Amino acid sequence: MSTDHETPHHGGPENGHFDVIVIGGGPGGSMASTLLADSGKRVVLFEATEFPRYHIGESLLSGTADLLKKIGALEKLERDGYIKKYGVEWVWGEHRQPWKVYFKDALAMPYDYGYQVERGAFDKMLLDNAREHGVDARERHRVTDFGREPDGTSWVAYRAADGAEGRVTARWIVDASGQGGTVTKRLHERSWDPYLKNMAVWTYWRDAKRPEGIDHGNTFLPTFGDGWWWFIPLRDGITSVGVVVDRETMRTRQESDLEAYYLEAVARTPEIADRLANAERTDELHIQRDWSYIYDKFAGDGYIAVGDAACFIDPLFSTGVHLAMLAGFLAAVTVNTVLDKPELDRAEVLAFYEKNYRAEFARLRAQVYFLYGGHGGTKDSYFWHARSQFDVPGIAPEKAFISLIAGAFTHRSWYRRFLEQLDVPAELKSTVEGIFDGKSLGTGVDPDAPLVRRDGLAVVDDLAVDGAYLRRSQSLVSPDGAVVPLTDRLTALLDSADGTRGGNELADALVSRGVPADVAQSAVHEALSYGILAAPAADTSTRT
């Protein structure tokens, strides 16, 4: 089937058969369905509610902007005037002194800002965008049952708002049904995180005090004795202000007493009390319990789970929408491959999705653990811990932390190979080629010191994104576990690293093979940062 964005064929009442059924019209479902329709698939989407509908999760990461661009929604977001956030301000750690981080300092980030959004309008925009791309999106259609026929056909039964019942079939199901987990809840076990059993209480305020200038739209995250706060500026002078605390802290409180607790917590947090001193509350209290969980499996024969239907993590880093849309992107590529590339082993393709989605979830969860356990720590300790979770061993600690909370994914091996080998927009390709700043070999690196191929490197067969599909490829794995695409450029670099040449000479050797100078310099820097090259004195067994 063509992937050149041809006009998709539509299923409908006359046949009731589609290529893909998507359950849920939130960001993950809209992302997956739009990309699948763009790839020529006949897609039907069932959404139980009518949009716009209220939903929490209002702060988008800067990495989400690149995902929005993939489905043609970024310009619409810009047009609608949502508030941009360029960073995050923290009051976290052993001192009450605020500290800030900015997304511009993240690794390989095409956009240096994220957005603060009202989810009702935002989610409706994504769902309407999916329709524009050819998705048959049906609101107020609740899925009541699903299954799989012996011949491999999947089916879904539904009930419309008027009570009419129907049944459609498809080749595959995408479960993007949120925390209800339509498919996963029936087929798999959900494990609640024993360390992140929290609850949130929040409401909305008008005319809360905000910083000036570039910090005007930033998220503010201060701690207090029982937990932490979010302060998220929205349009029209409205601010979302919520408190997250351990569920046990609230166990003795009746729900009717949460109002008093919320106001008491405001008074106990000077930074929040100051910002709300002259503000007017505009809404009732909202409550959500049990933030963090994960299912034991994300995909299987005939289905794949996206977003909250697979896992959900504590909202500290505002990762809900980002993880859902990133999963939607990966799910679309995975489903396209399963349906159109039977020569690739189905189990291996589904394992690619599960492995990479779980890895994103795990590194974010580990950092949340550390921040929760480190109220008495320092910002430097948070930076260093983020470095240990990141897959670039030589990255600066602060850059690792910012990249983690910004939702950086363009440096990932499976994604970077796609950008390096295909015809992609120049601004995005330049992001990849300049991942480690092609103007130098890195801070503290002697450009003339001899370099060698590090001992213990392993070549592995894996899968990588190639347009709308996955394809077989090879990667190089360092002793630190970092994974780098084994490109012709990297092979040539390793062949030249014989222990007699320094970094500048290695870059010159690449230039002599036709590689642009800045790209060659960046390649050497990248190999050093990922632990692929090393100084002979630091690695005595150097030649393999």
Residue 416 lies in a domain: no
**What is the model's pLDDT at position 388?**
86
Q: What CATH number did the domain enclosing 401 receive?
A: 3.50.50.60
**Structural tokens at position 469:** 């599909």
In a domain? residue 123: yes
Query: What per-residue confidence (pLDDT) applies to 130?
Result: 98
Beta bridge partners of 220: 89, 231
CA distance 395 to 440: 14
Is 411 among the domain residues? no
Residue 302 lies inside a defined structural domain of this protein: yes
For the chain, the residue count is 544
For tokens 């990849």, name the residue: 432
CATH number of the domain at 510, please. 3.90.930
Query: Per-residue pLDDT for 260 more than 80?
Result: yes
Residue 107 domain flag:
yes
**Amino acid sitting at position 135:** V
Sheet of 450-453, strands arranged across: 498-502, 450-453, 533-534
Alpha carbon distance 132, 391 (integer Å): 37
Instruction: Looking at the structure, tell me whether residues 363 and 236 fall in a common domain.
Output: no
Cβ neighbors of 542 (< 8 A, separation 6 or more) are 452, 453, 454, 455, 499, 534, 536
User: For the segment 56-93, what is each residue's pLDDT rounded down to a tens digit?
Assistant: 999 999 999 999 999 999 999 999 999 999 999 999 98
Residue 472: predicted pLDDT: 93
> 111 and 226, same structural domain?
no
At 443 the pLDDT is 52
12: confidence class by pLDDT, cuts 50, 70, 90: very low
Range of the domain at 430: 421-538
Residue 5 has pLDDT above 60, yes or no: no
Angle at 266 between CA 315 and CA 89, to 5 degrees: 50
Distances (CA, A) of 472 to 184, 309, 327, 342, 346: 28, 28, 20, 13, 13
pLDDT grade for 535, boundaries at 50, 70 and 90: confident
Of 243, 218, 249, the closest CA to residue 230 belongs to: 243
Is the same domain home to 241 and 384? no
Please, which residues have CB within 8 angstroms of residue 426's CB and are 6 or more apart in sequence? none
Among 238, 262, 289, where does a domain finish?
289
Last residue of a domain, one of 244, 262, 289: 289
User: What average pLDDT does this structure show over 437-451?
Assistant: 67
Q: Specify the range with the lowest mean pLDDT, choosing from 1-5, 137-141, 266-270.
A: 1-5
| Choice among 197-206, 296-305, 425-434 with the minimum mean pLDDT | 425-434
Q: Domain ends where: 273, 289, 305?
A: 289
Question: CA-CA distance, 223 to 241, in Å (whole number)?
Answer: 13
- Whether residue 507 sits in one domain with residue 380: no
Asked which of 7-21, 39-53, 186-200 is least confident by mean pLDDT, the reply is 7-21
Determine the pLDDT at residue 247: 84
- Is 296 found in the same domain as 285? no
Q: What is the full DSSP assignment across 286-346?
A: EEEE---EEES-SEETTEEE-GGGTEE--GGG--HHHHHHHHHHHHHHHHHHHHH-TTS-H
Q: Would residue 152 count as lying in a domain?
A: yes
User: How high does pLDDT run on average in the chain?
Assistant: 88
Q: Give whole-number Cα distances, 434 to 15, 410, 416, 487, in Å.
A: 50, 12, 12, 16
**Domains identified in the chain, total number:** 3
Same domain, 400 and 457: no
pLDDT for residue 520: 87
Residue 27 and residue 145 in one domain: yes
Does one domain contain both 30 and 50? Answer: yes
> pLDDT per residue over 135-169, tens digit each?
999 999 999 999 999 999 999 999 999 999 999 99
Candidate from 101-110, 115-124, 227-236 with smallest mean pLDDT:
101-110
Does residue 492 sit in the same domain as residue 515? Answer: yes
Q: Are 178 and 308 in contact (CB under 8 A)?
A: yes
Q: Please check the confidence at residue 456 and state whether its pLDDT lies above 90.
A: yes
Residues 31 and 179 in one domain: yes
User: In which element (H, E) is residue 230 found?
Assistant: strand 227-233
How does DSSP classify residue 377? Answer: S
The angle at the Cα of 449, spanning 444 to 452, to the nearest 5 degrees, equals 110
Is 196 in contact with 326 (CB distance < 8 Å)? no
Collapsing DSSP to helix, strand or coil, 265 comes out as: helix
Question: Does 6 fall in a domain?
Answer: no
458-492 confidence digits (pLDDT tens): 999 999 998 899 999 999 999 988 888 888 889 99
Q: φ and ψ at 291, to 5 degrees? A: -75, -45
Lowest mean pLDDT among 91-105, 163-177, 427-441, 478-492: 427-441
Pick from 36, 4, 28, 52: which is nearest to 136 by CA? Answer: 36
Q: What is the pLDDT of residue 431?
A: 55
CATH number where 205 lies: 3.30.9.100
Q: CA quadruple 123, 126, 129, 131: dihedral positive or negative? A: negative
- Note whether 429 and 398 are same-domain residues: no
Distance CA 445, CA 529 (A): 10
**Selected residue with higher pLDDT from 243 and 436:** 243
Mean pLDDT of 279-293: 92
Torsion of CA 371, 373, 379, 381, to 10 degrees: -110
**Residue 162 falls inside a structural domain:** yes
Q: What is the pLDDT of residue 541?
A: 44
Residues 235 and 216 in one domain: yes
In this prediction, residue 6 has a pLDDT band, given cuts at 50, 70 and 90, of very low
DSSP 10-45: ---TTT-EEEEEEE--SHHHHHHHHHHHHTT--EEE
Note the pTM of the prediction, 2 decimals.
Answer: 0.88
Say how far apart CA 524 and CA 534 lie, in whole Å.
11
